[in-house]
A and B are shown apart, each in its own frame.
Chain A
Amino acid sequence: MAAPESGDGNNGAARMVTLISSDNTRFEVEAAAASLSQTLQLTILDGGGGGGDGIPLPNVDSATLSKVLEYCIKHAPAAANGGAPNATAVDRAELERFDNEFVNIDQSVLYSLIMAAHNLEIEGLQSLVAKKVADMIKGKSPMEIRRTLGFPDPTPEEQAEMNAHMLEYGWAYE
């Protein structure tokens, strides 16, 4: 089978693709960065997203998409090296520092990011945000978990259910 034109070969310039957010903002990024998304990868391999066409992303708003792309651009070089098995310790430390900083965000932004990472199937970002939420949950009581995650106060029925549950799981509260 003939490989689809990758565009980043002969003239030295990286192939670019255009992504269009739900609020119609156009983002031009390197195909390699956008391809971190499993969802977009096939379209891009098929030669889509170039020129004036663009790939519409009706589930991702521009604020979230710009954040997602910030992640993809930073991680694309390492991903291109097959997960960078020969990356230097300095590179790895730099990516780790970036990741920690990256998820140091408001809880509402974090939710949008979780949904975007899920819909676009960006594996590294999915793990990163899942770990962030897990760290927010650890060591907390159910009520503290609700507050941390921005849930509304429980209704009386929910409160009763939570109390019953605490009895059942008494060992987890000692």
Chain B
Amino acid sequence: MSPSPAAQPVLPDEVLEDIFLLLEDAADLARASAACTCFRRVVSGCRFLRRYRSLHPPPILGILDFSSRYRGFHPAQSPRRSAPAAGAFAEAADFNLSFLPKDPSRCWHVRDLRDGRFLLSQHTRITMFLSKDLIVCDPLHRRYVQIPPVPGGLGLCGKEVIIEPFLAPVISQEKDEPPSIQVICNVISEYELTITTFVFSSVTGKWRYAASFSIANHEWMKCPLMATRRYVHNCFYWVENRFSVEPMLVLDICAMKFSAVELPQVGRWRDKTIVEAGGGRLGLFVLEFHDASNNFALCSWTWRDNAVGAKHWQLDNTIPLPDYKWTWFFSKAEAEGHVLLRGCPRDEYIDRWRFPEEKVDAHYFTVDIKTLSVERLCRLKYESSPDYLYAGLPPPLSPPSI
């Protein structure tokens, strides 16, 4: 280890990995990897990148719109810190999905997005028969895998049903190989008012029966696309709609059991969204209009144990939203500890029918669930539909998800 300027000290890969894992800002990691060949080799390793991702939640890069006439990826805009990375990401990924098998008679519908993976089906948004065509793809690395159909032998043959397929979250990222894929599929019978849940795992390559539940008390689940689905601490939650006070439907994916959870009595017609609060708790954000300040506030609730062993909702925090004299809504999109808020200047919002459509804009902001900090993401046309929020890193700092 001489300090001679000619000798470039060589550190073992594990030591370099430990150092690079401490660089929270991906831009620092990118620049470090440019410094020498050895650094570049370590940083571009899949195992390292997966470890890095599991330690540092990737930044929000933009909004994906699959249902309006402004469809496509809308990158984060300046002054958002992730704007340069979002621009690079937009150029690198193929959101037209042109790498998928061609079939001119059909087109692909995005059913879910999670951990950089898209789940697609070839049917319209509500499918009346069991879908034969499910695909999981990675638009950044232009890869896809076909998921076999839910076998008719599992007791569904010939019945008219609605399916709601979605992706289970990746549990561990710290391997060389892309993590395994789990697809969950709710098969809903509107006549019998039941949900039957099947799970596909890429490890076994098979579907298996997982759970069933009566939705007699959750009849709105007959139309799952109208409900909002959220994942929080090993459970999926379905809420009837953002303004409802009906109990939520819950699926614990470890125990594979359905149950119901009450919502706090915050009143009907308040916009709300389920979030992952700290300490393994379920959280809820509610938007309230305050007459005194003539503005909106965001209230943060958590589902806590009380002294007698039962659970109840508790109001933890209320923060005023930026004083823009705006109207605010939650968007159904969420990613990596953030929910999406959609704001519109109140006069434009009220008068929007009188303006030519393209003149009115919606302003999107993210709320960091932990810190409640509200940060501007981008400005889009009012009619745009923010279906998904995308968090990630541009290549080559994103390992393939498939």
Residue ranges of A at the interface with B (Cβ–Cβ < 8 Å)? 106-108, 111-112, 114-115, 118, 126-127, 130-131, 133-134, 137-143, 145-146, 149-152, 154, 158, 161-162, 165-166, 168-174
Contact = CB atoms under 8 A, between A and B. Distances in A.
B27 interface: yes
A164 B9 CA distance: 24
Contact of B32 (A111, A145, A158, A166): A145
B59 to A, nearest CB: 11
Question: By CB atoms of chain B within 10 A, which of A111, A112, A126, A158 has the most?
Answer: A111
Q: Which label, helix, strand, loop or mixed, suits the secondary structure of the A interface?
A: helix
Interface of B: 1-3, 5-9, 11-12, 14-15, 18-20, 22-23, 25-28, 30-37, 40, 84-85, 87-88, 394, 396
B32 A137 contact: yes
5 closest residue pairs by CB, A with B: A172-B30, A108-B3, A134-B22, A142-B34, A171-B84
B18 A130 contact: yes
B28 A118 contact: no
B22 A130 contact: yes
A142 B396 contact: no
A151 B11 CA distance: 12
Contacts of B5: 150, 152
Given A146-B35, A151-B8, A158-B37, A171 B394 contact: yes
A61 to B, nearest CB: 8
Contact of A152 (B6, B26, B85): B6
Contacts of B22: 130-131, 134
A6 B2 CA distance: 39
Residue among B18, B40, B87, B394 with the most chain A CB within 10 A?
B18
Interface residues of B: mostly helix, strand, loop or mixed? helix
Contact of A126 (B18, B34, B396): B18
19 contacts: A111-B1, A111-B9, A118-B12, A130-B19, A133-B19, A134-B19, A134-B23, A138-B25, A139-B28, A150-B3, A151-B8, A152-B6, A158-B36, A162-B35, A165-B40, A166-B34, A169-B30, A170-B88, A172-B85
Contacts of A172: 26-27, 30-31, 84-85
Contacts, number: 96
Contacts of A114: 11, 15
A106 B2 CA distance: 12
A146 B32 CA distance: 9
A168 to B, nearest CB: 7
Contact of A130 (B15, B34, B394): B15
B12 A112 contact: no
B18 A108 contact: no
A18 B85 CA distance: 54
A165 B12 contact: no
Contact of A137 (B1, B12, B15, B19): B19
Contacts of B3: 106-108, 150
Contacts of B31: 137, 140-142, 145, 169, 172-173
A123 B131 CA distance: 52
B394 to A, nearest CB: 6
Contacts of A115: 1, 11, 15
Nearest to A127: B18
Contacts of A107: 3
A108 B1 contact: yes
A140 B25 CA distance: 12
Given A134-B22, A137-B31, 15 more contacts: A118-B14, A126-B18, A130-B19, A130-B22, A138-B23, A139-B28, A142-B35, A149-B9, A150-B5, A152-B5, A158-B36, A165-B34, A168-B396, A169-B31, A171-B27
